[in-house]
């Protein structure tokens, strides 16, 4: 599964698509230059149970590390992933 990222102004998304259709998506907003706020994660039935949601969160974490910014996971799914993954503590703005 290849994860892509798009950004338009202060909004963005990490997503997985196939044949032009989005199968999983995690949306975020930029809060200044130092923080991403993850606000929604959605995975299609085709990818449910295959770790797609966690892969999207991991992609956001890797992006945050590259950009030297923090993540505030307001989305309940993303927050649960952060709570279960101590390795993400360096970018978690809790």
Q: How much is the pTM?
A: 0.94
Number of independent structural domains in the chain: 1
d(CA 28, CA 30): 7
Per-residue model confidence as pLDDT tens digits over 1-60: 799 999 999 999 999 999 889 999 999 999 999 999 999 999 999 999 999 999 999 999
**Domain range holding 57?**
3-91
> In whole angstroms, what is the distance from residue 88 CA to residue 94 CA?
11
CATH of the domain at 62: 3.40.630.30
Between 11 and 94, the more confident residue is 11
Classified as helix, coil or strand, 86 is: helix
Q: For residue range 52-82, list pLDDT tens digits in order.
A: 999 999 999 999 999 999 999 999 999 999 9
Res 1: pLDDT: 72
Q: State how far the alpha carbon of 30 is from the alpha carbons of 2, 35, 59, 76, 85, in Å.
A: 23, 6, 16, 18, 22
């Amino acid at each position: 599964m290849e994860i892509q990222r798009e950004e338009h102004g202060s909004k963005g998304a990490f997503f997985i698509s196939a044949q032009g259709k989005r199968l999983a998506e995690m949306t975020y907003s930029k809060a200044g230059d130092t923080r991403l706020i993850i606000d929604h994660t959605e995975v299609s039935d085709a990818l449910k149970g295959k770790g797609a949601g966690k892969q999207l969160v991991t992609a956001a974490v890797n992006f945050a590390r590259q950009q030297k910014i923090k993540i505030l996971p307001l989305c309940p799914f993303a927050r649960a992933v952060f709570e279960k993954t101590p390795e993400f503590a360096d970018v978690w703005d809790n």
